[in-house]
Chains A and B, each alone.
Chain A
Amino acid sequence: MESQSNLDIDNMENILHSIMQESNAYLIIKNGIFDFELSNIPNGVNVFQECSGKDSFADILANEFEFVTKYNQNNSLLIECDSSLSLIEPLYILFLDKNPGAQQKSYSNFYLIREGAQVTIIEKQIADLKTTKKQELNIFSNWFLENNATLTYYSHESNNKRPDCSINNNIMIRQMGNSSASFFWFYWEDGITSNDIEVSLDGEFAACNLYSASLLLNSTVVNHNIRMNHNSANCESKQVYKGVFNDNSRSNFNSLVYVNKHAQKTSSIQQNNNIILSDYASVKSNPQLEIFADDVKCAHGSTVGQIDPKALFYLQSRGIGKELGTAMLLRGFLSDVIDEVVDLKLKDLVLNKFYKLLKVNH
């Protein structure tokens, strides 16, 4: 069952083994190449990879993904979820990266959720980037949800990132009628991450929720550039971006919600809240709306502030010390995102990581 390429990093081994033991659905991509033998592909999931002419999905690229403008042809990967797919457990997609030589890498991933399919995907980037030279990763992720497709997607980073590692996520999402998608991204590692997300709601009654929670230390930077296009009527969108920033960490949040003149009965929420814990952290928040229809509900709000000293004193007055009190307040602050996570294992992982970074036992 073990692959021949050398997975000799403890962390990678542990994560990989625990997932392979506990789960029946996992896709393993090693250094950009999909490993058919090591993976456990559930019924209803099909994987294709553009690799010297084998398993080409050029027709799907030309049709379903004709909206995609930028991608790297080499080793493009397509994960297709059939209409028949109704997976109760999550599908793990693990990107293992051990490539000390390369400094700049580019991956293109296509995800096709067919009509009526329902799936939860948990994606992990497990990269051994500490032992390599400075890395730049450009990841193109393209999602197409057909009518009535339902997707919940969770993503978080591995534990081995160098502070000068930069990751550029280019995410394009296209949703057809009555489809529903919720995306969750968690950030707590070093490095410089840039997320460019464009969503197109192209069928009526589609819903898209984008959730993100960040707890940044050191000189970490996470930037978000989001464009949410309401191109059809009766669609809903929600953006809940919450960040906690310590040390010299930084973030720019730029988000534009565009409502087409035909997109009546649009409902959209744009929420960006940030707490700064140090004098040197900095956050810029820039939510924008461009609305061309007249029967819409569009809410937006952004805040940048500090921990409420009255709330902290209230906790202290009950015998809860400053460190634990701060952690409780921050946990409460991030609850808008964390409490929406349905997968309990992932929720535990996020909370454990979070409390570990805040140096409290919980």
Chain B
Amino acid sequence: MLKIENLKCSINESPVLKGLNLNVKPGEVHAIMGPNGSGKSTLASVITGNDNYDVDDGDINFNNQSILDISPEERAQMGIFMSFQYPVEIPGVSVSNFIKTAVAEQRKFRKEEPISSSELLKSMKDNLELLKMDSSFLSRSMNEGFSGGEKKRNEIFQLAMLKPKLAILDETDSGLDIDALKIVASGVNSLRSAENSFIIITHYQRLLDYISPDYVHILSDGKIINSGDARLALKLEKEGYNGVTK
């Protein structure tokens, strides 16, 4: 699904990722953990195609195709999705209009039949239900006046509607209380399948209690310094980053 080879990235000439390697196969959940400044969000941004970052070396392959020269919207249409750490507010653009347009654009790209309004509405209502969101969300402007928890649930709602092949959750658990966390986690779990994959970027073990990863990677100073299974996260929790640095 996703193969990252020796990725080196910088922002404003300042290096952030310094030779990162990652291999994610279909059906897998990978957790990436690391201290502040290690490059976690940079990794998410670069996979998504944020051009504030420069790729200085290495490659990112999605389904055996390099995506470095592919625009962010095309990457999304190919099936890459990111749940933002800080979702931006978009006044005047309603949640329903946003989803409708995103779904239509992606179906157009994949040369699928456009979805009917009633089918889309049903799908939206089902997914709102999954995330315990009231249907009044649909008519609100995207993220405007949303609490932190509502913003994160809105991200997972979009994930549920767009059904990507690869979903990157960038610190989705930050700012969430335990109840919101459980709702988000159960939403993600119900979307997991053998055909899609998740990269979960997080500081804390907490989310991984609910979404159990197949692999855990420790990111430090722009490189993955340790990889293991779910127990590595528990070790990190107990011993801190010093304990998991090889």
Distance from A354 Cβ to chain B, minimum over Cβ atoms (Å): 13
Which B residues lie within 8 Å of A334 (CB)? Answer: 92
Q: Which of A316, A320, A322 contacts B101 (CB 8 A)?
A: A320
Q: A314-B90, A324-B101, A328-B93 are contacts. A319–B84 as well, Cβ < 8 Å?
A: no
Which B residues lie within 8 Å of A33 (CB)? Answer: none
The size bracket of the interface on A is 20 to 34
Q: Is B172 an interface residue (CB 8 A)?
A: no
Q: Is A265 an interface residue (CB 8 A)?
A: no
Q: Is A321 an interface residue (CB 8 A)?
A: yes
| Interface contact tally, CB-CB below 8 A | 75
Pair A332/B72 contact, Cβ less than 8 Å:
no
Which A residues lie within 8 Å of B76 (CB)? Answer: 316-319
For chain A, residues 315 to 340, give those with C-beta under 8 angstroms from any C-beta of chain B: 315-322, 324-325, 328-329, 331-336, 339
In this complex, what residue of A is CB-closest to B109?
A: A319
Q: Is A313 an interface residue (CB 8 A)?
A: yes
Q: Is A308 an interface residue (CB 8 A)?
A: yes
- In Å, the complex CA distance between A320 and B105 comes to 6
Q: Is A311 an interface residue (CB 8 A)?
A: yes
Pair A329/B105 contact, Cβ less than 8 Å:
no
In this complex, what residue of A is CB-closest to B141?
A: A332
In this complex, what residue of B is CB-closest to A314?
A: B88
Which A residues lie within 8 Å of B101 (CB)? Answer: 320, 324, 328
- In Å, the complex CA distance between A314 and B143 comes to 12
In this complex, what residue of B is CB-closest to A328?
A: B93
Distance from A244 Cβ to chain B, minimum over Cβ atoms (Å): 12
Which B residues lie within 8 Å of A324 (CB)? Answer: 101, 105
Distance from A92 Cβ to chain B, minimum over Cβ atoms (Å): 29
Describe A's contact surface by its main secondary structure.
helix
Q: A318-B162, A319-B106 are contacts. A335–B92 as well, Cβ < 8 Å?
A: yes
Q: Is B210 an interface residue (CB 8 A)?
A: no
Q: Is A54 an interface residue (CB 8 A)?
A: no
- In Å, the complex CA distance between A102 and B206 comes to 78
In this complex, what residue of B is CB-closest to A327?
A: B101
Distance from A286 Cβ to chain B, minimum over Cβ atoms (Å): 24
In this complex, what residue of A is CB-closest to B106?
A: A319
Q: Which of B82, B84, B89, B105 contacts A321 (CB 8 A)?
A: B105
Q: A316-B72, A319-B76, A319-B162 are contacts. A331–B106 as well, Cβ < 8 Å?
A: no
Q: Which of B49, B87, B90 contacts A329 (CB 8 A)?
A: B90
Q: Is B195 an interface residue (CB 8 A)?
A: no
Pair A308/B88 contact, Cβ less than 8 Å:
yes
Pair B87/A322 contact, Cβ less than 8 Å:
no
Distance from A201 Cβ to chain B, minimum over Cβ atoms (Å): 29
Pair A318/B93 contact, Cβ less than 8 Å:
no
For chain A, residues 188 to 244, give those with C-beta under 8 angstroms from any C-beta of chain B: none
- In Å, the complex CA distance between A319 and B77 comes to 5
The residue in A325, A329, A332, A339 that gathers the most chain B C-beta atoms within 10 A of its C-beta is A332
- In Å, the complex CA distance between A332 and B162 comes to 22
Which B residues lie within 8 Å of A333 (CB)? Answer: 91-92
Q: Is A310 an interface residue (CB 8 A)?
A: yes
Pair B105/A332 contact, Cβ less than 8 Å:
no
Distance from B54 Cβ to chain A, minimum over Cβ atoms (Å): 16
Distance from A360 Cβ to chain B, minimum over Cβ atoms (Å): 10
Q: A319-B162, A324-B101 are contacts. A332–B48 as well, Cβ < 8 Å?
A: no
Residues of A bordering B, CB below 8 Å: 308, 310-311, 313-322, 324-325, 328-329, 331-336, 339
Could you list 18 A-B pairs, sorted by A, with CB under 8 Å? A308-B88, A310-B88, A311-B88, A313-B50, A313-B72, A314-B88, A315-B73, A317-B49, A317-B76, A319-B76, A319-B106, A320-B101, A324-B105, A329-B93, A332-B141, A334-B92, A335-B91, A339-B92
